[in-house]
Amino acid sequence: MSLHSRHEFREIYHTLEHVLQETSLNVLSTADLLNQRLAFLTGGTSHDCPILTFPDNSKIELTQENYKKLISYLTQIPTENERQCGFVLIIDRRSNTWTTVKSIISYIELIICRSLSQLYEYVDVSQLSKDLGGLINFRLFEWIEQRLTIEKLTQSIHELNETLLAFIKEVNEVEFPNNVESVDTIAGQNLIQKNHIERELQRIKTLGHSLLCIIHQENKQSSTSHHSTIDKHNDVYHIVLSPDQSAHARACIGALVHIDTIESTLSQFWSIHKTHLHYCLELRHFEQRFKRIQNIFLCLYKEIFQLPDINISQLALNTCGFDNCNNNNNNNNNLREEIDQTLIQVDALAQQAETMISHATRLANDGLALMMEQQKQQSIPYGNDSIEPKRQELEEMKKKLIEQIDEKRHSLKLLKKYIDKLGFINDWCVRGKDMLSMHSIHLSNDNALRSIVELERFLTDLSIMNIEELQHTSTPEPLRSMISQVFNRVNDIRDLCEKRCEQLRQLVRPAYRPIQYVHPLPLLQHAPFNVVDSTTPILKHRHINEYTTNFDIDSNRLLISSSNNESSINHNVKMDKKQRHVVTELLATEQVYVEELRSIIEGYMIKFDDPEQFRFIPPIILQNKTILFSNLPAIYAFHATSFLRDLQQIYNHSFVSNTCSIGSAIASCFIKRKSNFKLYEEYVLNKSQSERLWEQYCCGHPFFTKLQQSLGHRLPLDSYLLKPIQRITQYHLLLKEMIKYTHHEQERKHLQESLYVMLNILSHLNDVMHSTQIVGYPDPMQKLGQIRLRGENCIISKEKRRGTVYTRTKTCTRDIFLFERVILLCKKKDEGNGRSLQYQFKEMIKINDIAVCTYSKNDRNKFEIVLKDYSYIVQLSSNGEKLEEMNSRWIDAVKNCITKQTEQRRAEVKHRSSSLDPSTHSHRRRSLTRKVTFNRAPESDDEQAHLPITLIDLNDDDIIQNNKLVLDN
């Protein structure tokens, strides 16, 4: 119901208010007073004012209460306009004393008439009752009966008005339901209520007309020709009524007017409400059809999704296996039949989709028509907000369905094309394998030439097949990996065929026979002619036997050498192939790693710089963005723009040039980029703070959960922030695999060198990781400098010196951390769950306070740190490495730190002294003549300065034990 209609009904209510007020005092409540003839209204008027008569009745005294009640009732009978004009009171006290009218006179303007003739001067005779000599034949009892009937009519109108208002209020408050059946039910109920109100309205209207006719009929029977006068102001059905009957007729006509107003209002309301019901019903029909079409679309989506998938793994077996060609061909035929059946199902679904798309288009047009109707019917306050989104959703569903069907059909046709193409390639590979097995290198020249021609023709068939087409087309990921495998197979067969051709070409080249290298004639020419006669039959026979024997021996050597060469070549080919697989794995995992870093930066970090996202991010997280992500962008830039590009260039170049150098190229890449891997040190140092920030403020926060869902990540952000630490621990494993499949000694040395570089980096990062778990140190850890070495479970004996004598004071087990400026002695605290490992700070040794660092007396398995008043004897725990080598490395590292600190102090003194006068400068220079000299070790950039293992040691257990990076701390 519109607001305009509500105002209309409120106006109707106020219009009928005076009718309702009439029933506040009715004729029944005042009948006793009326019957006593204390006062009455005859219907007569004077100067358009109703005449209120107080007849001469001396028998009954009019009290103030009865007067108020009677006058209140009589004065509400005339209409509002008549009441506004005022009343003319006639008080008849001719047979009574003056005191009886004093109470009335005190409130009323008094005009005293001494005779009836004087009264006629103020009031027309036709408007007076016969008691006062007038013409009105006033019958009180008939008046009371007619008044009672009029008040019943008025009461019925009041009740009908209340019913109508309640009906309208109920309709306004009811919300239209969301289904067609409920709307139909409401429409039926409203129609029943409306019909009931109309029947009641017609009944009351009939009652009003009947009452009016009765008034006219009674007036016709009781009136005479000389009593009837013409009333120019009140034309009721063109019949002149007496004043009292005219008053009743006007009240009845007023009630009929109100009934007509209520009827008009009901008609207007029902017209608007019926329009609303019709529109709502059409809207619900639209929504019902939309849900039905939506469900059918979802079923079609589901059917497309549930179409039988082609067994891609079987396709991979067919294209990559050569052992059973017949089975492969049968499987390919089965795959083609399966694809054809699926295409038939796709076509059937496409026909259903076309039908549903036409229904959806028709429904969208119907929705547009409803929107146009809503715009025309401005009283309809809803519709657009429900129809327009559904029309857009219909368009999206149609578009999505068409795209899915086209994509499915295209992928199936493309797969069928690939099966045919890969079938040809499979046959080619099988033929190549057969040719390689038939054309061995132990052939005669003619057979070798024939084999070369056949192999070259076979390689020409590969170019005719145009297999490069498979690489240039866009394919889904499973097919792409299969095509990559097929190309590897093709490349393997092609490489083997080319190598076999080269071997056969070497076989057919002209070469000297082995007998020419052991010919006995040069030896016979140097022998003296007079010793023995060479023409002697026995001697001649011996020379012939020697000649034949030498030829047989050299021929056997050639055959054995040829067989060994073939076996060695096959072994080397397998080794190169396996090494290439390791390189492929290195490149593929590096690409995945770079992509994961990119998703973190673009999916999370960039959101921190978007002002629109600030209100979703807590301020504490926004302020500590650098702590949460550390230097991840720098790590990503290094891998994406430098390291990955180098690996891709090496991998692509390996297909053009000889693959024997790929291992050396990979090794050179790691060695060349070793300084860039120092970026991980900052990341490891910050990792513990990042984890605490995540656990306190970020874990489970809606902002990060929403970003994770939008990126499609199965794990939260903290799992992806572990990727750099996990990745840095994988390089040395891949390098070890490459060393395992390397058969060139020089390449092996290069790879070993790169392996030790990465192991050194890993060991250093492990020490850095442990150093972040030190607790209880009073000053910032950044002031200690970089960590150099770490020793676990070391037995330390602290001795105090008294003169030249040392007294043992304390022995304990500590973990030692060697930094550039200090040595920290800590106590390990581990509760056993792996995540609560901490190092409680106990004692500190400043590098500047160390006087000597050398082996302990008579025991090279310990080393001693000598201070001014104390001496620390350290016994390291062996983790597989020789104690003497470990002590040597620690002594060299401590000496390097001492040397570096000494040089820094000298530089600071020199800088300060440059601003002093010459005398002060010379005095300070003489005071610093004392020196501490040590044998200087290599710089820290030299990766072999403190290697955890020797150059030749390749024991896997030792490498893992010495270079294990603790990730769970």
**Alpha carbon distances (Å) from 243 to 42, 53, 219, 246:** 6, 13, 10, 5
Q: Tell me if 770 sits within 8 A of 829, measured CB to CB.
A: no
The pLDDT value recorded for residue 220 is 61
CA 561 to chain centre: 67
What gap in Å lies between CA 479 and CA 318, rounded to an integer?
13
Query: Smallest Cα–Cα separation from 965: which of 789, 769, 779, 724?
Result: 769
Contacts of 745 (CB under 8 A, 6+ apart): none
**Can you tell me whether residue 859 is helix, strand or coil?**
strand
Beta-carbon count within 10 A of 723 CB: 16
Helices and strands of the chain, counted as H and E runs: 32, 11
CB atoms within 10 A of CB 574: 12
Interhelix angle 384-438/243-305, rounded to 10 degrees, is 0
Residue pair 681/764 in contact by the 8 Å Cβ criterion: yes
pLDDT at 894 (0 to 100): 92
Query: Which residue type does 270 have?
Result: W
C-alpha dist (Å) from residue 309 to 337, 656, 812 = 13, 38, 67
Task: Determine the Cα–Cα distance for residues 264 and 262; give it in Å rounded to an integer.
Answer: 5
Which secondary-structure segment (H or E) carries 186?
A: helix 180-222
Contact between 96 and 58 (Cβ < 8 Å): yes
622: Cβ contacts below 8 Å, ≥ 6 apart: 608, 614
Q: What is the pLDDT of residue 4?
A: 44
Which tokens belong to 639?
Answer: 């891998």
Assign 3-state DSSP to the chain and report helix, strand, coil percentages, each to 5. 65, 10, 25
Q: Would you state the pLDDT for residue 875?
A: 87
C-alpha–C-alpha distance, residues 374 and 280, integer Å: 11
d(CA 385, CA 371): 10
**C-alpha distances in Å from residue 548, one per residue of 519, 712, 952:** 10, 80, 49
**Residue 618 zone, left/alpha/beta (φ > 0; ψ -120 to 50; rest):** beta
Helices (H), 25-110: 31-35, 64-75, 80-85, 102-105
Nearest to 145 by CA among 21, 34, 23: 34
Contact 825, 845 (CB under 8 A): yes
DSSP code per residue over 864-875: EEE-SSEEEEEE
How buried is residue 294: exposed, middle or buried, by Cβ count under 10 Å (0-12/13-18/19+)?
middle
- Kindly report whether the global pTM for this prediction surpasses the value 0.95: no
φ, ψ at 53 (rounded to 5°): -105, 130
- Residue ranges of domains in the chain, CATH in brackets: 36-137 (no CATH), 139-306 (1.20.58), 308-508 (no CATH), 514-567 (no CATH), 573-769 (1.20.900.10), 777-914+930-937 (2.30.29.30)
Cβ pair 285, 184 in contact under 8 A? no
CA–CA separation, 870 and 866 (whole Å): 6
Smallest Cα–Cα separation from 407: which of 313, 315, 304? Answer: 304
Q: Which residues of the chain have pLDDT under 50?
A: 1-5, 8-9, 12-13, 15-23, 224-238, 316-324, 442, 511-563, 656, 658-660, 920-969
Other beta carbons within 10 angstroms of residue 8's beta carbon come to 16
Nearest alpha-carbon partner for 166 in 138, 136, 197, 144: 197
Please report how many Cα atoms fall inside a 13 Å half-sphere around the Cα of residue 541, on the Cβ side: 3
Contact indicator for 272, 190 with CB cutoff of 8 Å: no
- Contact between 517 and 472 under an 8 Å Cβ cutoff? The reply is no
Structure tokens at 573: 């080919």
pLDDT value at position 536? 36
